[in-house]
Amino acid sequence: MDYIWTPVVLIALLIVVTLLVILIDKFLGGGGERKITVNKNNVVTITGDDTALNALTNNKIFLPSSCGGKATCGTCKFRLIGDVEPPKSTELPFLSKEEIADGVRLSCQTKVTSDIECEVPASALNSKVYDAKVVEIEDLTHDIKRVRFEMKEDFNFKPGQYLQIQVPGIETVRAYSIASDSKDLKHPEVIIRLVPGGVATKFIHKAMIVGDKIKITGPFGEFFLQEKSNRPMIMIAGGSGMAPIRSIIFKMMDLGFPRKGTYFFGARTKKDLYYTEYFLDVAKKYPNFKFIPALSAPLPEDNWELEVGLITDVVRKFTDDLSGHEAYLCGSPGMIDACIKVLKEKGMPEEYIYFDKF
Ligand code: FES
């Protein structure tokens, strides 16, 4: 019978040793008390070697983390101050040379093994988790929906910022730009395109219903309307990139559109357009505002009589010297990079080009 018991004893011994190692690591080894100094005067204390992202989240400092710490979104950046270790290979795709030199790292890939000092975007200190209810879902196109939430508490945000939705059923969260009027503190809205193969957008498009209760974190982001500026604005968006621009335009309308603003919206065919009539009407009401929708591949049945071409070509056609302007761009990385090139060709200084790539 000994031959039966030997493996059992061995397995039991292995379990006990593993548990001991975990406990020793937690309480004696790597698991001591650590301090994280955030933006100079916020100090949080943690026990154990957790990632900076988790440690900050547990202390109610919410960095964006659309991939939930899997190193696939690059949104959880923060800046370490002092002696900073080289980035891990998982961080490299998300960090520029300048950021690496400046101590910027992904907080989900940074283990806190000693006291550290870091800098996070100011918005991270104001973000929190909110209980929300879905109160409206509207089809805007064949693959884009608008979702309106109702919040229990006021949700303050700047036009252009984004929020994160904790999608029920999958562990992770997803980030979406806020599309609504920033003076309505109880009803943020998002505009979501169905991404082929995307678990979160599939849930939102196919399963989410009015009345669903979800958690929202935010607001996040350094892309927002520069309210104190008086530079004329160029706004460019494609697809669901309309969302933050819509929020920015709501704010500009509230202010009476005191400076010039031209909004270029690019889509492939007419079935990809939405809110066209709405923004053409806004342009009629506010002389400072111009709306230029463009289709890159209109179908004959679209009977499209407005602009045709890539949005970059349309921007090039309708703009001259942009050295005194500022720009707000939202869309795919490819579209944004191409637009930045055109804006710079037209003399726009880089520091006045604000963008949100998704
Ligand atoms: S949370 Fe996505 S890369 Fe860190």
Q: Going from the N-terminus, what domains does the chain have, and what CATH number goes with each? A: 33-124 (3.10.20.30), 127-220 (2.40.30.10), 233-357 (3.40.50.80)
Task: Report the pLDDT value the prediction gives residue 19, as an integer from 0 to 100.
Answer: 65
pLDDT at 271 over 80: yes
Of 198 and 79, the one with more pLDDT: 79
Residue pLDDT, tens place only, 148-182: 999 999 999 999 999 999 887 766 678 899 999 99
> For position 3, what pLDDT does the model report?
58
Check residue 199 and give its pLDDT.
Answer: 83
User: Which of 173, 166, 144, 347 is CA-nearest to residue 246?
Assistant: 144
Ligand 1 contacts CB of residue 106 (under 6 A): yes
Does residue 63 line the site of ligand 1, with CB under 6 A? no
Cβ of 73 below 6 Å from ligand 1: yes
Ligand 1 atom closest to the Cα of residue 63 is 1
* 193/174 Cα distance (integer angstroms): 12
* Assembly ipTM: 0.99
Question: How remote is the CA of residue 173 from the centroid of ligand 1, in Å?
Answer: 11
Measured from the CA of 67, which atom of ligand 1 is nearest?
A: 2
The answer to whether residue 69 scores a pLDDT higher than 70 is: yes
| C-alpha 97 to ligand 1 mean position (Å) | 19
Q: 351 falls in which pLDDT band (50, 70, 90)?
A: very high
68 Cα nearest atom in ligand 1? 1
The minimum-distance atom of ligand 1 relative to the CA of 70 is 2
pLDDT of residue 22: 55
- Asked if pLDDT for residue 194 goes beyond 70, the answer is yes
Per the CB < 8 A criterion, the answer to whether 31 and 50 are in contact is: no
CA of 26 to the centre of ligand 1 (A): 24
Residue 23 confidence class, pLDDT cut points 50, 70, 90: low
pLDDT of 21 over the 80 cut: no
Q: Write down the pLDDT at residue 64.
A: 87
The pLDDT, as a whole number, for residue 174 is 85
User: CB of 65 closer than 6 A to ligand 1?
Assistant: yes
Look at 46 and 86; give whichever has higher pLDDT.
Answer: 86
- Kindly indicate the confidence band of residue 200, based on its pLDDT and cuts at 50, 70 and 90: confident
Is the shortest distance between the CB of 175 and ligand 1 below 6 Å?
A: no
Judge whether residue 57 has pLDDT over 60.
Answer: yes
Answer yes or no: is the C-beta of 95 below 6 A from any ligand 1 atom. no
Question: 87 CB less than 6 Å from ligand 1?
Answer: no
For residue 172 and ligand 1, the question of a CB distance below 6 A is answered with no
User: Mean pLDDT in the chain?
Assistant: 91
pLDDT (tens digit per residue) in 232-256: 999 999 988 999 999 999 999 999 9
Give helix 333-345 / helix 311-318 axis angle, nearest 10°.
Answer: 20
Question: Is 67's C-beta closer than 6 angstroms to any atom of ligand 1?
Answer: yes
Higher pLDDT, 12 or 21: 12
Q: Ligand 1: which atom is nearest the Cα of residue 73?
A: 2
Q: How far is the CA of 63 from the centre of ligand 1 (A)?
A: 9
Ligand 1 within 6 A of CB of 52: no
What does the pLDDT read at residue 167?
80
Q: 80 versus 70: which is more confidently predicted? A: 80
- Residue-wise pLDDT for 132-152, tens only, equals 999 999 999 999 999 999 999
Q: Compute, in angstroms, the gap from residue 91 CA to the centroid of ligand 1.
A: 9
pLDDT value, residue 297: 97
DSSP assigned state of 205: I
pLDDT number for residue 222: 87
Burial 223-260 (b: 16+ CB within 10 A, else e): bbbeeeeebebbbbbbbbbbbbbbbbbbbbeeeebeeb
Q: Categorize the per-residue pLDDT at 197 as very low, low, confident or very high, splitting at 50, 70 and 90.
A: confident
Sorting pLDDT into bands at 50, 70 and 90, what band is 20?
low
Q: What is the radius of gyration, based on Cα positions, of the chain?
A: 24
132 touches 214 (CB < 8 A): yes
Does the Cβ of 71 fall within 6 Å of ligand 1?
yes
Q: How far is the CA of 69 from the centre of ligand 1 (A)?
A: 4
Please identify, by atom number, the ligand 1 atom nearest to the C-alpha of residue 64: 1
